[in-house]
Each structure stands twice: as structure tokens, then as C-alpha cells.
Chain A
């Protein structure tokens, strides 16, 4: 970011002559606005459309395919519809809190994008406490959800809000603890710093660095799903139990804002996981052209992050929902102890294991990871064969 600002205020730049102290915030704000309106909002919308399509295919259905090519514009239609709908505030609700809650939720989620990298030079603010900052601002979402649950003056909403508060606060701990192995390995909290400590090749990723980081990756992803209120941890809105949980009384745009957060947050999860464990935007240095390199880095990072969005959709289509007490059991009896063991294990690993042995372990773990993928597809083939499908039942194209 700094290089970008410097190049802009240099002679011949767009902002030539402007002092650095003024130019830097301006560029940040400008880039932030581009990120929010040009990236965050569309990505949340498109994710909603894609989620419905992915679900539909898993469920032997077609899914929304009428608005635009393959229903691609469905999210715009839904957004417009919700914008035009009446904004109902129940008479018994606490007007101020009720109106404020969705904005708080969205603010907490959008603020995370300040520290999320897109490519080597593309990040709004490469904070030296980047990952800590992200963990902190997502906490604002809880306040919004709890506020929504309370202000609705509805028992189902209240239950949803309380569940959400308990859930998000609990899962901050395993999420935070599973970041530590990576932080220990890199010695920095900066998002760019963590990415720079990894390489482009899978064996250079922290995912395959040692068994502890491998486990930490799953712990972090599960905890992040729980923080994002995603299945199997979607108990705050648990449709079949709490009607719609904390957003039962919401309608129109305010209702949509909650879902903007939910879908947008998926990308945030993906981005953090990619940064911490999957080498972020790292690509081989194949060209000198900075623009091309940045674009490729952006593409690589986006694809990696979006794979986790897809994974979250896929998990949602597969798993049932846990119960409140089981959620807590999973967190406190399983994830927190394992996360602590992980942290200590990584520290010991760093001291005990020599570099050459570490290299061997990395390669072995990469091979094991590939083996798991192969095993997975063998199971897929098994299920396809067991279902005794006719040739007409197979259909590989996503287009219907």
C-alpha cells in the first residue's frame, strides 16, 4: 500500500504534490470504497445465488435459473425486491436498537476487509496486528445479533440472540488458539507477513508444515463456521426450531443485511484460512510485469478463498445441526483442549525438529493430503456405482 501511495504522490502521479499524510488516508478510503462496493457486496450476492445452485444440484433440483443467464442475476432481483419491501418495525419492539442492529452486524463484517489481503500490493491496511484485528472486529457482529434478538421483543428472537452470543464468544477461543501455531511459526501477526512466510507450493503451506498446523487448520475452519453461524452451527437462526431466530421479526432491507453478513462472511472465513494455512496469494515469480503478477496473485487468492466458500455451502448441504449443549461440549471439551495441545506441540516442534527432518515431514504430509483427496473420489465413485445409475442419470455440466 505504501509503495502505491508513494507512486501516486510522486512527480507525474495523480496526486502529485499532495503530502503523504493526506494522500495515504485518501487512497485507503478510495480503495476501501472500491473493495466494499465493487467486491464485498457483489461477492455476498453472488455467493447467495451460487449457494442456492450448489444446494439444488446436491438435492437433485435445478435451482434458480430464470433471472439472467443461469439465474446469475437472481441476487440482484432479490436485493431489489427486499429494498422495495416495507420496513416493518413491530410496535412492541425497541425501535432504536431494532433499527441499529443490522447496521452493527454489517459494520462488524465489512471492517474485517480492512486487513484482508487480495494480492501482494493490494490490501487496505497491512496492520502489524492484522489477524488480531480481524478476530476483534468480528466481535461487533455478536453485539448486533444480540441486540437484534433483544430488541425484537420476541421470545424466539431472544433465544436466537442469546444462543448466538454464547456460541460466538465460546468459539472465539478455539479460533484464536488455532491461529497461534501459525503466529509462532512466523513471528508476526501481520496478514501479509504470514503469507510471505509461506511459499507457492503446497509443501510450503502451513497446512502441511507439521501435524499440529494440519489439525489447527481444521479447528480454525470449524470454529470460523461456528462464528459465522453456518451449518452445522446455525443454531441462532435454526429454522426448524426458532422459526428464524434473531431475525424473525425483520423484513425488507434490514433482513437482507443479516444475510449479506452471513454470505459475505463466508468469503472472510475463506480469506483468513487461505492466508493462514494455504499460502495466500503466493505464486511463482514467472514475470516481471507487476500488473500481471498482481492480477494472477489476486486470482489465486480468490480461488483459494472461494473454495472454502464452496466448502461451507457443501457442508451446509450435508450436515445436520448440533444442539446447544453439544455445541458447547464440542467447543470446551474437544476443540479448546486440542487447540492448546496444538499450540504447545508447535512450539516443541520448532525447537526439536531439525530443518531437514521438517522438510521431509512437509513432503510426506503433502502426499498424505493428496492421498485423502484420492480416497475421497474413490468413495464418490463407490456411491455412484452403488446407486446403479443408468447412463441417462449422469450429467456433468453445471448448466441446466
Chain B
């Protein structure tokens, strides 16, 4: 009998308690936001600096070293860089990223020497066709960027390089921030 009444008592009190918790939520502000149109600032602007959104390439500072292509575990980056016989400069003929395949792991942007390939805070990538997911960054062959000895003076390249290096600084460096990343022993494959 005690168990019988105890059950009734426990049922009533625990439901009473639960109902008081749910009622207390009537005076709390909802935590969700009304994406995408009823928000004070776009979500993209609220994302942290390290956010790994859709990849972007700043061709102006791409050195054509193919480090990203090699690092990609899923082979969604294809670069064609040839050495111009006369000028001895690398010429980029092709730099394609298949965003449909990309898994946003960030392994490509880590070895980049200039921060040219980097993740943006864009994430709204839905589209109607697979073809439109293919990002072709090189429209016409361009000469790859060659790092200068001194500080960058070009007004276009300078800010881009600054941003790129700042992006790189955020990654952990082997053995601490002071040491540069290891030279790649493999070279171009």
C-alpha cells in the first residue's frame, strides 16, 4: 500500500516539477534566430576567423607550388602550372576546385606558403547543377606570384598578402610559431 501511494505521490510531484520547468520557459527568450532574413547581421559576419567555409583562391598571390593539390585527401583541387621557358616564371593555366567534392577539412590551406587558398565564411553553396559547383579560378593563363625579398609594395598584392599571412599565422606551426614550416622534400610530382 505504501508503494501504491508512493507511486501516486511521486507521479504527481514529478509532473508538478516538470510542468514548473516548462512554464518557466514562457518568460525566457527563444534562443533560435530566424535565418536567413530576420537577423540583425548576416550570419557570415558573425562567424569566427577560422571558420572553414567555401574555398577561395587569391590568384594574385598563388605561387603555383601545388602544395594544396598534394595535401588534398579527396583530390578535389586540380592545378596546371607550367614553367614558361623564356621568362622562367610559373604560369597557371588551370586552378579548379570541385566544391561539390570538397569536405572542408582545411588541409589544403595549411601548407600554402602565402595564404592564397583559404576558407571564407561563405557557406550557402546550394545550386541547381553539379557543374556550377566547379569553381574555375583561372579564366586566362596568369603568371604565378613570386615572393619578394623585401616587403610587398604592390598596392593590389600587398593587402592580399597581408591577409593571407595573417590567415596562415592562425595555424599551429611545428615546434612553435617562430619556426617556419618544413621545406617540402618531395618537390613537384
Contacts and interface: CB of A to CB of B under 8 A. Distances in A.
B8 interface: yes
A395 B29 contact: yes
A400 B29 CA distance: 9
Nearest to A385: B24
A393 B19 contact: no
Interface stretch (A107-115, A156-164, A189-197, A375-383): A375-383
A314 B23 contact: yes
Interface string B22-41: 11111111111010000000
B30 A376 contact: no
B153 interface: no
A381 B26 CA distance: 12
A59 B30 CA distance: 8
Interface in B1-34: 4, 7-8, 15-32, 34
A57 interface: yes
Contacts of A314: 19, 22-23
Given A62-B34, A383-B24, A393 B18 contact: no
A58 B30 contact: no
Chain A binding surface, main DSSP class:
helix
A57 to B, nearest CB: 6
A384 B18 contact: no
A116 B175 CA distance: 80
A394 B20 contact: no
Interface string A304-342: 000000000011011100000000000000100000000
Contacts of A315: 19
A61 B15 contact: no
A318 B15 contact: yes
Contacts of A383: 20-21, 24
A371 interface: no
Contact of A58 (B16, B25, B29, B32): B25
A382 B23 CA distance: 12
Given A62-B34, A314-B22, A394 B28 contact: yes
Given A62-B34, A383-B20, A57 B15 contact: no
A317 B7 CA distance: 22
B106 to A, nearest CB: 32
A57 B32 contact: no
B16 A60 contact: no
B30 A56 contact: yes
A318 B18 contact: yes
Contacts of A384: 24, 27-28
Contacts of B21: 318, 383
Given A60-B32, A393-B28, A319 B17 contact: no
A285 interface: no
Interface string B76-101: 00000000000000000000000000
A379 B19 CA distance: 10
A1 B35 CA distance: 53
Contacts of B4: 334
B119 to A, nearest CB: 30
B123 to A, nearest CB: 22
Given A318-B21, A384-B28, A387-B28, 18 more contacts: A56-B30, A57-B30, A58-B22, A59-B25, A60-B30, A60-B31, A60-B32, A61-B30, A61-B31, A62-B32, A314-B23, A315-B19, A319-B15, A379-B20, A380-B24, A383-B24, A384-B24, A400-B30
Interface of A: 56-62, 65, 314-315, 317-319, 334, 376, 379-384, 387, 389, 392-396, 400
7 contacts: A56-B30, A60-B32, A61-B32, A315-B19, A379-B16, A381-B24, A384-B28
